Amino acid sequence: MPERTPDPARELSDLTLLAQLVHRGQLDRAAAEELVAEMRRSGRRLLDVAVATGRFTRTRVDFLRAVEGEDVPELPGYDVLDLAGRGGTAVVVHARDKKSGRDVAVKVLRRELEADEKIKRSFLREAKLLIGLRHENIVAGEKVGQFQGRLIFLMEYVPGRSLQDLLKEGRTFGEDESLYIILQVARALHYLSQNGVVHRDVKPANVLLTPKNEVKLIDLGFAQSIGDTAPAATSGETTVGTVAYISPEQARGESDLDVRADIYSLGATLYQLVVGELPFAGQDNQEVLAAQILASLSSEVLKSRRISPHMHYFIEKMMAKEREVRYQSPTELIADIEQQIRGKKTLEFNPDGDDPGLRKPFGDEPPEKGRSPFKRRPRR
C-alpha cells in the first residue's frame, strides 16, 4: 500500500505536542520516534496513531489537544473544552462541569514552579483573596486545592477577551467606550480598597471585556492587603507589577502602597486605550522605570491625538507623579466619570424620559468601530 502524505499543518501541530510530551517526560523518545514513523507510513494523525497503538486513550488525546499539550492533569467530573490562557506561572483552561453543565475556569500552577515556595504562596494568596471577594467587576474565585500533586484553582469562567488582546488585534477604543471600561474597573478598585486590598497590577491584560460589555478585573497574583509587605512574585524582583503601568512609588520599590497606585495604573491603561500606545517607553525595563519616576506625560502627544480636554484632565490627574495630586480614592474618580457621562446624556434624544443608566451604555453589542455609543440629539 503506497504511503499517503499527511496534512503538513496538522502534522506540525501534533509533532509540536509530541515534543512537549517528551520534554516533560510523559513519553520516552524511542516511543515518540516509533509513533512518528507509523504516522508517516499510514498518513494518519500522530495522536490518532498513539491511540491505535495503545500509547494513549482517546479521552487523553482529546484532552491533550484541548489544552494544546500543556501539562494540565485530567480533571475528574469536568470536560476540558479549550485552553483559556497561559502565563509565566500558570495555565488556565476552560472546563465544563459534567453534572451541572456550568462552565468554569481552572488555573493550574506550572509543574516546573511547584518547588518555588514564593510562587506557591503567591498562587494561594490570589486564590484565597478571590474566594473571599464578590463583586460584579471582579472575577470570582470558588475553591483551591491539590489534585495529583498539582495546585489547582477553580474560578468563574468569563467568556471575554482582554483589552490587551483587543489592542494587539488593532481594536481602537473611543473616549466614551474607554470611560465606560475605566468606570467599571474603578468600581472594582473601590471594592478592593474597601476590603483593604491593593491590586498592584492593573493593566489592559488584566481587564476582560465580554460580548455583553461586562468588564471584569482579573489576576490578583500581585495583590496585597494594605499594611502587609507581600513579597515579589519572583526572586530578584525589586518592584512588583508591570513596568509600563506601575506608579512612581511602585517603580521606586516602596512598600506602603495604597489604592492611589492602582489609580495611576488605571490611568496608564486609559492612556493606552485612547492614544493607542503606552505612556512611557524605553530600550529596557530600567529605562521605563526611570521614565515612570522622572518623565512627564507629553501634552503634545495628547493634543496630536485630538484628545478632548476632559479626557486630558482624567489622564493627567490619574497619572500625577505625586500621589497626593492624584485622585485620592476611586470614589472621586467614579464621581467625575459619572458626571462626564451625565453631561453626555443631556445631549441624548430620549422622548420617553427613560434613564438609560450608566452601567451599560452600549446596549447588547459593542459600538461600531470609531462610532460613539451615545446618541446625539438630531438637529432641528
Rounded Cα gap, residues 367 and 138, in angstroms: 23
| Cα of 29 vs its chain's centroid, Å | 36
The span from the first CA to the last CA of the chain, in angstroms, equals 80
The residue annotated as part of the active site, out of 14, 71, 176, 201, is 201
Q: Contact, 93 vs 132, CB < 8 A?
A: no
Q: What are phi and psi of 202, to 5 degrees?
A: -75, 125
Q: Is 201 a catalytic site residue?
A: yes
* CA-angle at 159, arms to 240 and 177, nearest 5°: 75
270 vs 215, 222, 277, CA distance in Å? 14, 21, 10
353 vs 72, 347, 363, CA distance in Å? 54, 13, 17
3-state SS assignment for residue 130: helix
Q: What is the per-residue DSSP string for 182-220? A: HHHHHHHHHHHHHTTEE----SGGGEEE-TT--EEE---
β-strands 207-209, 161-162 pairing: antiparallel
DSSP structural state of residue 169: T
Rounded Cα gap, residues 64 and 69, in angstroms: 5
Q: Contact, 195 vs 260, CB < 8 A?
A: no
Q: What are phi and psi of 270, to 5 degrees?
A: -60, -40
Cβ neighbours for 352, distance < 8 A, ≥ 6 positions apart = none
The phi-psi region of residue 117 (left if phi > 0; otherwise alpha if psi is between -120 and 50; otherwise beta) is: alpha
Residue 92, all three cell numbers: 488556565
Residue 338, all three cell numbers: 459619572
62, containing H or E segment: helix 58-66
Handedness of CA 121, 127, 133, 139 (dihedral sign): positive
Residues with active-site annotation: 201
